[in-house]
């Protein structure tokens, strides 16, 4: 499936508004988002490195050479409930990178003005994707 078709399906998933906790995380990330540096990326790796989702996402991001702000990565990982969700949000980053060249919070939030896919819908959609791939 090409990225445009993938995104069309993904963006059509039922959304839920952000919880107060996630809205707070988003606000904090927006206030601090800026150009990454080696020091800031290293600090984030040290802080989040024990988290399995962070390690999976970061390894894939580096391998795919996707420029992405740390804040965008932190926010997406705060939405992910399990490794399947991490993989789905990474795929979203690949789509955004194909269009915007760098993944930022504004690039993410403008695509989902009414909320983000519900965890249930995301899990069901991910299972459907896997069945389709065989």
Instruction: Quick: pLDDT tens for 69-89.
Output: 988 998 998 888 888 889 889
Domain ranges across the chain = 3-8+36-133
Orientation of helix 83-100 relative to helix 52-64, angle to 10°? 30
Does residue 40 surpass a pLDDT of 80?
no
Does residue 49 surpass a pLDDT of 80?
no
Percent of the chain with pLDDT over 70: 99
* Residue 62: other Cβ atoms inside 10 A: 10
The model's pTM = 0.82
Cα–Cα distance, 36 to 104 (Å, whole number): 11
Q: What's the token pair of residue 101?
A: 């060249």
Radius of gyration, alpha carbons of the chain: 14
What pLDDT sits at residue 33? 82
Q: Report which DSSP code applies to 41.
A: H
């Amino acid at each position: 499936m090409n990225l445009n078709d993938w995104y069309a399906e993904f963006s059509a998933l039922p959304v839920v508004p952000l919880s107060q906790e996630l809205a707070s995380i988003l606000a904090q990330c927006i206030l601090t988002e800026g150009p990454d540096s080696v020091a800031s990326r290293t600090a984030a790796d040290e802080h989040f490195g024990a988290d399995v989702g962070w390690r999976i996402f970061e390894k894939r991001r580096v391998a795919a050479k996707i420029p992405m702000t740390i804040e965008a990565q932190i926010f997406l990982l705060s939405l992910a409930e399990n490794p399947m969700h991490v993989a789905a949000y990474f795929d979203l980053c690949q789509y955004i990178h194909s269009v915007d060249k760098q993944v930022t919070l504004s690039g993410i939030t403008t695509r989902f003005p009414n909320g983000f896919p519900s965890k249930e819908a995301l899990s069901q959609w991910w299972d459907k994707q896997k069945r389709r791939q065989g």
